[in-house]
Chain A
Amino acid sequence: MSLNYDDDMFVCRCEEVTVGEVRQAISDGAIDVVGVKRRTRAGMGLCQGRTCERLVQQILAQELGKSPAEVGSSSVRPPVRPITFGALAGGDF
């Protein structure tokens, strides 16, 4: 797979992170999805990486010459979908 994404293309729409910023994070030492997330906020928004994670994996895999599986994924943490604090406090989940 060859990716020729422009640096100014958005990867993470929630946090407005571009391909260029992901590439910068990789050159700063990120070797996996979580490393990119901490350096760029890609995956920290409302959708929690459900939209951008695959793309971040692809960019990482290409830049580092690894397989998408090797670059990992974000830790799975509840809630699966946004839930109000009211529902959470009431044990309604």
Chain B
Amino acid sequence: MKSYDVIVIGGGLQGSSCAYQLSKRGHKVAIIEQNDVASGTASHTDGYVGFSEKAPGIDALQGWHSVKLYHELQHELSYEIEFEPTGFMYVCETEREFAAASDYAKKIRDQGFDMTVIDPKEMCELEPNLAPDLVGGILNKSDGLANPYRVVFAFVNEAKRNGADVYTHTTVTDIKRNAKGEVEGVVTDRGDFLAPKVVNACGVWAPFIGKMVGLEIPIEPRKGMLLITEKAEPVTQSIEVLEFGYWLAKFFADFKRPVSELVEKHNVCLNIETTMSGNTVVGGCRLFKGYDIKSEYEIMQAIAERAIRFYPMLKDMHCIRSFGGVRPFCLDHLPIVSGVDEVPGFYIAAGHEGDGVALAPITGLLIAQIISGEETPFDASPLAWKRFEGVDLATLAEHP
């Protein structure tokens, strides 16, 4: 029977990052993945890397650390991750949004991070293809883009170089524990693997692994959809652009915009990025539809409508592909990154919703540091599983 120091379940962004950081520290690591690596959420999403989609506080702090790590990783990893620190802009359609955005920018600045308020003239200088009638925006220059599935391949390749084993198309069916309840390994459809430590990095599927050790992990799949343009002249100037309504809609379910019924119905907000390949990725939406990732025509229609509102040039550009994916929405909007006291040897690195690409580096680092007994770069206790102790999860589950 194969034996390891740490088994990471899940070969996505979080799992591969954990495996990389652990293997770098000399731990003997195995990744166990039920499909191919990068086959779940990592290959059904856009590539935004930054802290600007986060709430001020721990959320923005971990995002900031993660962006900083991306700057180092692009040189450290031998596989090209297509990281571009090109900046990020929120655009506002109404005065109300602009006021909320300016307030948000101030809170982020008060935390010591970069976020500037810009007027429509500056916006159009930076983003000449933007509609000229917008009210204003906010900008930071440290965020950027990466290619999410290439980030996974890069972490996996590097972990393998450090001696990690990767078992794909292998499904974990149970967690082995001793009489004291301590983790001893995993049971899979391809045999048992031993390890005193197991990391559950299964994203939207994390609750299934949690149940194996009696934990109710409050993560639900939240669907997003994206459209891909043909390769053409860049729509955005390599900058990630979102409408601020996206942020407001993420945190305030009752927030309403002056939009069409179709856009409203499917909770569609613009996010757009022209990638290194020359295609532009256009989204998006946040919907609770179970694990369904099929492309829905009405949502495609709504995304196209909303995108043209902000980037009129798209009207004549071709859409060559659509796709859907599910993001691991954690009921209190923060990922879970910690050990679990009641199940010694069990760790969780999941629940990043739409921030999985951005946060993968810091999550992997935190898990590796926690497991290795190292000091973390900031107090990570707000991300710990312990925060759910004594909390009635049903009261957290208030979402549309």
Q: Which residues of A contact B (CB under 8 A)?
A: 28-32, 34-35, 38-39, 41, 44-46, 48, 75, 77-79, 82-86, 88-89, 91, 93
Q: Report, nearest first, the 9 A-B pairs whose CB atoms are least far apart.
A: A82-B318, A86-B315, A88-B304, A89-B304, A89-B305, A85-B314, A85-B304, A35-B36, A82-B320
Complexed CA–CA distance, A68 and B284 (Å): 35
| B166 sits at the interface (CB 8 A) | yes
Decide: A85 and B317 in contact? CB cutoff 8 A. Answer: yes
Decide: B319 and A91 in contact? CB cutoff 8 A. Answer: no
Decide: B36 and A82 in contact? CB cutoff 8 A. Answer: no
Collect the chain A residues with CB atoms within 8 Å of residue B36's CB.
Answer: 29-32, 34-35, 38
User: Within the complex, what minimum Cβ distance (angstroms) separates A5 from chain B?
Assistant: 24
Question: Which listed residue, B37, B229, B316, touches A29 by the CB 8 Å rule?
Answer: B37
How many A-B pairs fall under 8 Å by CB?
Answer: 88
User: Within the complex, what minimum Cβ distance (angstroms) separates B194 from chain A?
Assistant: 23
**Can you pick out 5 interface pairs between chain A and chain B where the beta carbons lie within 8 Å of each other?**
A31-B36, A79-B320, A85-B318, A88-B300, A88-B319
Decide: A46 and B320 in contact? CB cutoff 8 A. Answer: yes
Decide: B322 and A85 in contact? CB cutoff 8 A. Answer: no
Q: Which residues of B contact A (CB under 8 A)?
A: 36-39, 43, 149, 153, 157, 166, 168-169, 227, 229-231, 277, 279, 282, 295, 297, 300-301, 304-305, 307-308, 314-323
Decide: B322 and A78 in contact? CB cutoff 8 A. Answer: yes
Complexed CA–CA distance, A50 and B43 (Å): 20
Decide: B168 and A93 in contact? CB cutoff 8 A. Answer: no
Decide: A38 and B301 in contact? CB cutoff 8 A. Answer: no
Decide: A39 and B304 in contact? CB cutoff 8 A. Answer: no
Collect the chain B residues with CB atoms within 8 Å of residue A46's CB.
Answer: 230-231, 320
Collect the chain A residues with CB atoms within 8 Å of residue B323's CB.
Answer: 75, 77
Collect the chain B residues with CB atoms within 8 Å of residue A41's CB.
Answer: 277
Complexed CA–CA distance, A82 and B317 (Å): 9
Collect the chain A residues with CB atoms within 8 Å of residue B304's CB.
Answer: 85-86, 88-89
Decide: A38 and B319 in contact? CB cutoff 8 A. Answer: no
Complexed CA–CA distance, A90 and B36 (Å): 37
User: Within the complex, what minimum Cβ distance (angstroms) separates A17 from chain B?
Assistant: 12
Given known A-B contacts A77-B323, A78-B322, A91-B301, A84 and B317 have beta carbons under 8 A apart? yes
